[in-house]
Amino acid sequence: MTLQELLVEEIKDLYHAEKQLIKALPKMAKAATHEDLREAFESHLEETREQVTRLEEVFAALDEKVKAKTCEGMAGIIEEGNQLMQEDAEASVMDAGLIAAAQRVEHYEIGSYGTCVAWARLLGLTEVANLLDQTLEEEKAADEKLSAIAESEINQAAANEGREENEDEEEETERGGSSSGRTMSRASGNGRGNRRQSSTTNRPRAKAADRRKR
């Protein structure tokens, strides 16, 4: 196998990876609560569609038929994301997890496109290298945008979520387990915190789980 043949195999792998993402990103957008995050997923979906078209141009430039080869790596990353989305988590915690999943996707792509650009340049395939490099830059930008969104608000909100939960439980114990009339500081913003009207007492943990049911 020559390096150019290996390059073609990697392109087929990327083609399948991007195709899988076109299916996964709408689900991630739906699972996201924070507006900026949802928008980031939606705009990266549009970008991903263009990246698929760009890969078709790469196949043409290589005089190869457009063909996908199962990308197990991306399948695994997406599967982990699906598992996350089935978890019962407060909105900001889920958002933080979605960002982590999405960044693993971007890093996988960056690794793969980065290699393909370098090989294409070495092989003198300038057009191929330029096309792949455009996508590489988009993936890097998507990754940085996700970091910025995480750092601007979501990670901190997710960290506070745990803290508030603990404070509540302490409060509850002090007051002998009365759960009526509690106010919820965390209800603001995400619309999912407002489920605390539990009638049972003295079982803060069970109630904490209860509250999260949707």
| Residues in touch with Fe ion (CB under 5 A) | 18, 48, 51, 109, 139
Q: How far is the CB of 17 from Zn ion (least distance, A)?
A: 6
103 makes contact, choosing from Fe ion, Zn ion, none, with CB < 5 to 8 Å by partner type, with: none
Q: How far is the CB of 92 from Fe ion (least distance, A)?
A: 23
Burial class of residue 125 in the structure, from the number of CB atoms within 10 Å of its CB (0-12 exposed, 13-18 middle, 19+ buried): buried
| Closer to Zn ion by Cβ: residue 52 or 71 | 71
Residue 73 interacting partner from Fe ion, Zn ion, none (CB closer than 5 to 8 Å by kind) = Zn ion
User: Which positions touch Zn ion (CB under 5 A)?
Assistant: 13, 71, 73
Least separation in angstroms between residue 68's CB and Zn ion is 11
- Nearer residue to Fe ion within complex by CB, 13 or 168: 13
Nearest to 45 by CA among 82, 19, 10: 19
Token pair in block for residue 125: 């395939």
Which CB, 109 or 161, lies closer to Fe ion?
A: 109
Q: Which is nearer to Zn ion, 112 or 179 (CB)?
A: 112
- Residue 155 interface partner, choices Fe ion, Zn ion, none, CB cut-off 5-8 Å depending on type: none
The four Cα atoms 116, 122, 126, 129 give a dihedral, to 10 degrees, of 20
From the list Fe ion, Zn ion, none, partner contacted by residue 114 (C-beta under 5 to 8 A by kind): none
Do the Cβ atoms of 169 and 202 come closer than 8 Å? Answer: no
Q: Which does 51 bind (CB under 5 to 8 A by kind): Fe ion, Zn ion, none?
A: Fe ion
Between 20 and 48, CB nearer to Fe ion: 48
* Closest separation in Å from C-beta 110 to Fe ion: 9
In the list Zn ion, Fe ion, none, the entry touching 129 (Cβ below 5 to 8 angstroms by class) is none
For Fe ion, give the closer residue by CB, 17 or 154. 17
* Least gap, CB of 184 to Zn ion (angstroms): 44
Which candidate, 203, 156, 206, 212, places its Cα nearest to that of 184? 212
